[in-house]
Every structure is written in structure tokens, then in C-alpha cells.
Amino acid sequence: MKVTALFLCGLALATASPSWEHFKAQHGRKYVDAEEELFRQRVFQKNEQFIEDFNKKFERGEVTFNVAMNQFGDMTNEEFNAVMKGYKMGSRDEPKAVFTAKEGLPMAADVDWRTKGAVTPVKDQGQCGSCWAFSTTGSLEGQHFLKYGELVSLSEQQLVDCAGGIYFNQGCNGGWDKTCRFNANSIGATLVSHVDIAQGSETGLQQALSSVGPISVAIDASHFSFQFYHDGVYYEPNCSSTNLDHAVLAVGYGSEGSQDYWLVKNSWASTWGLQGYIKMARNRSNHCGVASAASYPTV
């Protein structure tokens, strides 16, 4: 029985599709044994079918974005959600300052802080639920640049290792805290406080993005469509504006045809999405909660 099972497993792997072999080679995948590889191959094939079916909807004009295979192709959505996020919802402290939308405030038709030099290259959090650290450094990098004219890439690892104690941080679990190696002689940027955007206000978020700089935001990124997003304006009917699980960085906004979008920097390397970015639906009832927990530091 065991010999037969191993033979069948070996046979299935021997007849693997070219796309599976390409995926393994492209991403350097090696598995502990034949059983694990067969399981991952089946997950990959299921994800491959989802991508094919979804893109047929895109071709028919039924959805506003397409999807593509990426480095998460051998992960189930449950595994993906368990290790690739890290934003922990909780009650927000009473803010010291709140940015509220101001009537009649002039705003640019489109904004992209990358073109102004305020955004560092896309980073990769790996399989560590530390998205909160990348969202935090991104907004501080932007404010530091706008005040001092110097773009400094800050250390997310330091936040994962050191932001424990009173911050109740759990590192890779949304920090496990490793040894904090903070060195006061190598500080890259400092902040004074932070400002929250009025909860749920897309107008407030747009005004802040137009006048302040990149903004830390939290979103619902739990869906297969987000896991494999590739291009277009992301609109997911099942997205929640309250159940948020991923922290990212809003770096601009604009329109694509008749569709308004937020330009958002992710932390899953440039192999995901639009070279590491996503265009998320804007002015569609706070889609995916992009304006539900937005803030920026003051320096």
C-alpha cells in the first residue's frame, strides 16, 4: 500500500506541467519530500485555474482588474492570510490630532509621491506578518524627505525587534521580538507624534495625500483576487471596510478611464501586482476600508 502510494505520488510529479516546473525554478522552490511537493503542485494547479477563470471575466469586461501567477502560487488562501499580513485590529487610542476634510480645499487631480522622490523602492516583508512595520516606515520616510530633503530607507527589522513592551507588538505575528539592537548613533529619522485621518473619510484621505504626503493605511486584503492581483483598478465585491488585516502605504491617487483609484505601495516585493503596487478603487464607499484607519507621522 505504501509502495503504491509512493509510486502514484512519483508518477504525478513526473508528469507535472511545464508551468509548475517553471514556477519552481523561478522561485527556487524545494520541498521536504514527494508528498509535500504533490500537495503544493495541487495547490498551484487550483490557483492556476482560478487565475484562468478570473481573467476570462476580465476579458468579458465583468471585472475591472486582472490577476496573474506570482510567488504565492503554491500557497492556499488560508496559508497566505496567516503569514503575509500582520495588521491587528483593535480599538484606536484617542487621537491627539485628527485630519478632517476641509470644504473647498484645492486638490490636484492626481498625485504620485514617487515622482517627487518621497517613496523608497518596494520592499519585501517575506513570510513575516510585519506589514505594519513597512507601512510605518513608508509614511515616516516620506515625511522625513519632505522636511529635510533626504530620502532615507528606514529599518523595518528594528521595529519588529524593538517595538515590544508598552506597544504590545508581536513582531512577525502582527513581531516575534528578537534581540533589539537599537543604536542611537545610527538613527535615520525621528517623529514627534502622529495624525489620524477622520475615520472612513475618503475626502479627508485624498486631501491629506494631496497636501501632506504618503499615508499609512490598513485594508482588507484577505481575498484570492488580492493574493494574485496584477493590473487594473482593484474592486472586490466581498471586500470589507471594517475587517482589516493588512497595513500598506497610500502614495497617490488618480483615475483610469472612468475609474478613480488609490495608488498603494505593498511590501511583497516587486514581483507582486504592478511592480509591487496596486490601484485600489476610490470613491466607492471606502472600498476595502482604505480610509478606515489612515494616519501619518509628524516630524
Catalytic center residues: 131, 246, 266
User: Which of 150-155's residues contact partners 24+ apart within 8 Å by CB, and which partners?
Assistant: 151/117, 151/118, 151/119, 151/120, 152/188, 152/189, 153/120, 153/121, 153/188, 154/188, 154/189, 155/188
CA gap 232, 164 in Å, rounded: 38
SS3 52: helix
Element (H, E) at 250: strand 246-256
Element (H, E) at 220: none
CB of 283 within 8 A of CB of 205?
no
Could you report how far apart the first and last alpha carbons of the chain are, in Å?
67
The DSSP annotation for 164-204 comes to: -GGG---TTB----------GGG------EEEEEPTT-HHH
Query: All 3 cell numbers of residue 245?
Result: 488585516
The DSSP annotation for 2-22 comes to: HHHHHHHHHHHHHT--HHHHH
∠ CA 277-190-130, rounded to 5°: 40
> Positive or negative, the Cα torsion across 260, 287, 218, 84?
negative
